[in-house]
């Protein structure tokens, strides 16, 4: 911060390890640290103001109320909060986030949820219905993704947990079955951040491989990154940033030839692509129909239209899955086993997920997919028609766009001011809209394109303006000191937990 552009450029060419050492030494120099702390304090204050909108209007509870509050009054307050937040996502102003959101469907899910708010799948003796729901969700999902008899899985709390579970399983499988002492993962740069999280949590080195010009995994570059330590290759269908499908047939064949694992991350696309294929779209294979695919993560709480808190991790066979399971025999608390990271698990999300899959049925998923893909196509064509913008890659419904001439983050900022909550991406700088059923409602896509056109025109006429998050993204893209940006992100998390 405050560094001259020429210095930044020079530092940007240095080796990241050397940079990190310089950064640590620079931060330990009193005046540099002091200046940074002052900058951080200011940024944190600004963040706090925008992230805590209810401080003026509602009481803050730092301690328990002395006597319990009136239940109706609590519910009224919660309903007021819900109403303040609902209109934005309901009207389609969010990217992803709420994937179905039709009020009647939400009411139905809430009823299913509340029927099981007390259940815990860790205790199948008390709630055998929970294990019925879980096993049937796995079976229906596996069946949708080309699974035969041996395909099996587990229910997790979301895409990240599914990915973490699978990577932990590959690590232990590779050590046990392949004699690899330091197992590694190989993934395209565009694979989800959850793989970095797995790398950090479980000490599995992650080799990130640059993608090709279409933002898809580069098969030859992936081949070159494979070593005797590689336990698993990874591909996305579709990728979070640009919504494209990696060449899974080629990558999974490579993994099969080498006798290692291949994980398809279908968290975002798993409940769309099979139905798109049925509708006649040209979708390359990405699931268990390919013999080299050994596991798939697929999120019921996205395009499965279940409420938040469920995802499925599928394995080609139970041998691989067994490396995910946990069992302990010598604990004074008794014989203990659990399939995922949590001990006790909430039964509500599982029950509501089961209800969602049954209520949608094949026809429901086909219709939903058709609406989403048609809307995605209209939005994509609309963006391509706006001067100064271009679409990245060849996406279906997760549409990333950038600009060669204008500051795309300033355009995003103006969209934010108009109520839109889009995803800012970088390397290269761009923004994406993840189309959901919310955007298929009358007039939403048109409103998005109109607002986007106006925002682009404004930035074209006022290129000097930099407001909101635009300077932060600009800084993150140019600053060679990644640790500073990472510190800032952790400050953001600290602010979230402040009362
Ligand atoms: C491709 C992909 N993988 C994994 C995830 C992580 O899912 P979650 O946010 O449910 O943990 C996402 C989330 O958007 C995703 O798009």
| Percentages (nearest 5) of helix, strand, coil residues in the chain | 50, 10, 40
| pLDDT value of position 488 | 82
DSSP-based three-state secondary structure for 334: coil
272 touches ligand 1 (CB under 6 Å): no
- Give residue 9 CA to ligand 1 midpoint distance, Å: 33
218 touches ligand 1 (CB under 6 Å): no
236 touches ligand 1 (CB under 6 Å): yes
Q: Return the closest-CA partner of residue 159 out of 244, 99, 87.
A: 99
Q: How confident is the model at residue 252 (pLDDT cuts 50, 70, 90)?
A: very high
Say how far apart CA 344 and CA 341 lie, in whole Å.
9
192 touches ligand 1 (CB under 6 Å): yes
290 touches ligand 1 (CB under 6 Å): no
89 backbone φψ class: left, alpha, beta (φ>0; ψ -120 to 50): alpha
Counting runs of H as helices and runs of E as strands, what totals does the chain give? 17, 13
| pLDDT value of position 299 | 98
| pLDDT value of position 463 | 94
Respond yes or no on whether the N-terminal peptide bond of residue 428 is cis (omega within 30° of 0): yes
- Give residue 102 CA to ligand 1 midpoint distance, Å: 22
- Give residue 196 CA to ligand 1 midpoint distance, Å: 13
Say how far apart CA 341 and CA 325 lie, in whole Å.
9
| pLDDT value of position 485 | 80
Strands laid side by side in the 423-425 sheet: 390-391, 398-402, 430-434, 423-425
| pLDDT value of position 466 | 83
401 backbone φψ class: left, alpha, beta (φ>0; ψ -120 to 50): beta
Residue 438 vs residues 240, 374, 375, 463: alpha-carbon distances, Å:
19, 13, 10, 32
| Chain segment 168-205, per-residue pLDDT in tens | 999 999 999 999 999 999 999 999 999 999 999 999 99
184 touches ligand 1 (CB under 6 Å): no
Could you count the other beta carbons within 10 Å of the beta carbon of residue 300? 31
265 touches ligand 1 (CB under 6 Å): yes
Nearest CA to ligand 1 atom 6: 159
Q: How confident is the model at residue 44 (pLDDT cuts 50, 70, 90)?
A: confident
- Give residue 433 CA to ligand 1 midpoint distance, Å: 15
Question: Which residue, chain included where needed, has tokens 């290692």?
Answer: 260
Q: Return the closest-CA partner of residue 244 out of 289, 294, 193, 189.
A: 189
Residue 301 CA, closest ligand 1 atom number: 10
pLDDT at 120 over 50: yes
Q: Return the closest-CA partner of residue 434 out of 300, 241, 265, 276.
A: 241
Q: Candidates 192, 201, 341, 397: which one to mutate for ligand 1, based on the most atoms within 8 Å of Cβ? A: 192
Nearest CA to ligand 1 atom 7: 159
Domains and CATH numbers, the chain: 5-51+474-496 (no CATH), 113-357 (3.40.640.10)
């Amino acid at each position: 911060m405050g560094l001259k552009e020429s210095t930044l450029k020079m530092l940007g060419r240095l080796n990241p390890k050397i940079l990190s050492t310089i950064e640590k030494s620079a931060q330990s120099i009193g005046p540099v640290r002091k200046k940074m702390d002052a900058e951080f304090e200011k940024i944190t204050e600004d963040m706090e103001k925008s992230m805590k909108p209810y401080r003026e209007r509602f009481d803050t509870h730092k301690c328990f109320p002395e006597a319990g509050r009136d239940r109706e009054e609590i519910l009224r307050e919660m309903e007021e909060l819900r109403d303040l937040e609902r209109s934005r996502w309901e009207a389609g102003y969010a990217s992803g986030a709420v994937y179905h959101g039709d009020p009647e469907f939400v009411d139905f899910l809430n009823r299913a949820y509340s029927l099981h708010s007390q259940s815990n799948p860790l205790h199948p003796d008390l709630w055998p219905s929970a294990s019925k729901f879980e096993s049937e969700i796995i079976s229906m999902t596996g069946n949708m993704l080309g699974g035969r008899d041996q395909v099996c899985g587990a229910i997790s709390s979301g895409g990240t947990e599914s990915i973490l579970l699978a990577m932990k399983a590959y690590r232990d499988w590779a050590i046990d079955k392949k004699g690899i002492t330091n197992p590694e993962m190989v993934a395209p740069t565009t694979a989800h951040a959850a793989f970095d999280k797995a790398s950090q949590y479980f000490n599995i080195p992650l080799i990130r491989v640059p993608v090709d010009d279409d933002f898809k995994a580069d098969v030859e570059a992936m081949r070159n990154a494979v070593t005797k330590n590689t336990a698993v290759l990874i591909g996305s269908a579709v990728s979070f940033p640009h919504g494209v499908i990696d060449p899974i047939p080629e990558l999974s064949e490579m993994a099969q030839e080498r006798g290692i694992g291949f994980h398809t991350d279908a968290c975002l696309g798993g409940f769309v692509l099979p139905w798109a294929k049925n509708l006649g779209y040209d979708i390359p294979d990405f699931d268990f129909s390919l013999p080299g695919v050994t596991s798939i993560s697929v999120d019921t709480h996205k395009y499965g239209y279940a409420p938040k808190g469920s995802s499925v991790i599928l394995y080609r066979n139970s041998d691989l899955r067994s490396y995910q399971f946990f069992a302990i025999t010598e604990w004074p608390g008794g014989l203990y086993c659990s399939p995922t990271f949590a001990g006790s698990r909430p039964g509500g999300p599982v029950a509501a997920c089961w209800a969602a899959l049954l209520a949608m049925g094949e026809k429901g998923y086909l219709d939903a997919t058709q609406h989403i893909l048609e809307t995605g196509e209209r939005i994509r064509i609309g963006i391509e028609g706006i001067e100064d913008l271009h679409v990245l890659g060849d996406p279906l419904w997760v549409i990333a766009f950038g600009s060669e001439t204008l500051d795309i983050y300033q355009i995003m900022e103006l969209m934010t001011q108009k109520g839109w909550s889009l995803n800012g991406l970088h390397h290269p700088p761009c923004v994406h809209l993840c189309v959901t059923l919310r955007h298929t409602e009358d007039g939403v896509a048109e409103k998005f394109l109109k607002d986007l056109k106006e925002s682009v025109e404004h930035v074209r006429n006022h290129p000097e303006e930099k407001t909101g998050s635009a300077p932060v993204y600009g800084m993150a893209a140019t600053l060679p000191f990644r640790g500073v940006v990472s510190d800032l992100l952790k400050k953001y998390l600290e602010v979230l937990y402040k009362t």
